[in-house]
Structure 1
Amino acid sequence: MALIEGLVLYTRPYRDNDLLVRVFTKEQGIMTLMARGAKKANSKIGFACQAYSWAIFDGAYPKNNQGLGFINDVQDSHPYKNVVGDINVSAYAALIVKLLDLAFEEGKSELEWYEKTLIGFDKLNEQVDPQVITNIFELQLLPAFGVAPNWQADPLSGAVTGVFDYSEKYNGIIERSHFDLDDQRLNLDQKVVYYLRQFSAIDMNKIAKVTLSLMTKRGIQRVIDYLYDREVGLKPKEKVFIQKMAAFEGQLAIKARKGKP
């Protein structure tokens, strides 16, 4: 038996009364645990196994990293209520969870990312802009997918200050004096470049209130989507849902401005 601390990422039905619970554990990374009796009415285990809940379970890790582990009881738990209760925040949380699940090997300890993920969910729960928090995850997870753009300096001159643009050809930022070397560069606004550089390295603990213009946020997201589409080859359904939700909200805003019912 063991005490298993972790963040519940999602669950799947299993048999009549049980659940398969995907957990980002502190000690052994991301794995699936079977929660016996979790679907029974008034089950304390079932309550603790809700997605986006932190918990300490009594249970067992998979033997030799093979098969399923088990959850038999709960020592402590708390849900991230604002993440669960807000459909917009929940959508971004689902994307973060999907990327974490895809990025890391089953049962491999990822303590730094475990702690970073809890901080990120704290920020989401505190209602810090969910797109900003998700963008930070997206950028900082890129190396886990084998993609590591250079956001810090022009590789040709070493320049760290100046006017920059993103160049896929040079795998990162290039300074203005080298723009003519890549006619496929992204022609980014300098505010977008600034925040991409900041988000790629920022300590999540230092994030407080963030206020960005809609134009800047769209620019940041365009670059991140470009990187995941072209260099990672990944477009999760969770991202598609966020895009559809944003498009729908945009249509409602247009109707409101025109005075339509």
Structure 2
Amino acid sequence: MKLAELEVNGVSWSPTKASLPVLHPTTFTVGAGKVLGVVGPNGAGKSTLLRLLYRFQKPQTGYVRVGGQDIWDMPARDAALCIAAVLQEQASAFGLTVREIVRLGRTPHRSHYATSGARDEQVVEHVLGFLNLHPLADRDFGTLSGGERQRVMVARALAQEPQVLVLDEPTNHLDVRHQLEVVSLVQNLGLTIVVSLHDLNLAARVCDDVLILKDGHPQGFGPPQTLLTDSLVSDTFHVDARREQLAPSGASHFSFSLPN
């Protein structure tokens, strides 16, 4: 899979031109092969930002570029070859098997109503193997657990062979084991990734950089080790936050309490 830098410059969005922005001008760059975590409280603008990145909504200001090319200057099919998304809500599979779901990821590579070719099937089989999904390949998608479904949706996205992968709350509604599986997956994909997360400790563990949003405004961007200060986290989430060093690993961990 190709790696590409993601450049986001001054993007903003509001439901109408007359309404207040849901997302105010936001700028950041994700290096090729790096992982960016987008964090913030509910209503901060995280999902709105992600929709701009995977070309669901067009920014009202600014631009999104992958590998130096504006995603709105290319046909939708070409954009789908650059960016893939895994969303929180998973549509009904209509009785499709895991292999058939993953095969849908090859749609942007086919012309009109062409059927799968040898190259498509090769990619599908490779992705199934990479994510250890071969044992589930002939299972009905609707019979899978939440963690298994999430893995299948990532597999479908990888079958697109994108340069950038966008993940919207990939650990939401998952138990601890399946959260750990998704975290391990993100760490080992080797793609340029933008992932929205609620868990700050998870973001600090997985991400090379973090973007903090609050009320649609960017609050900071940078490595989690330096950006996520007690004061910034406390102010953003309206809690008392304290970062502690864990022995013997030296890793940091946030603890939270309600303000007095």
Whether TM exceeds 0.5 here: the answer is no
Which one scores higher on RCO, CA 8 angstroms, separation ≥ 6? 2
When the two structures are superposed, what TM-score results if normalisation uses the length of structure 1? 0.29
The normalised TM-score by structure 2 is 0.30
**Which structure dedicates a bigger proportion of its chain to strand?**
2
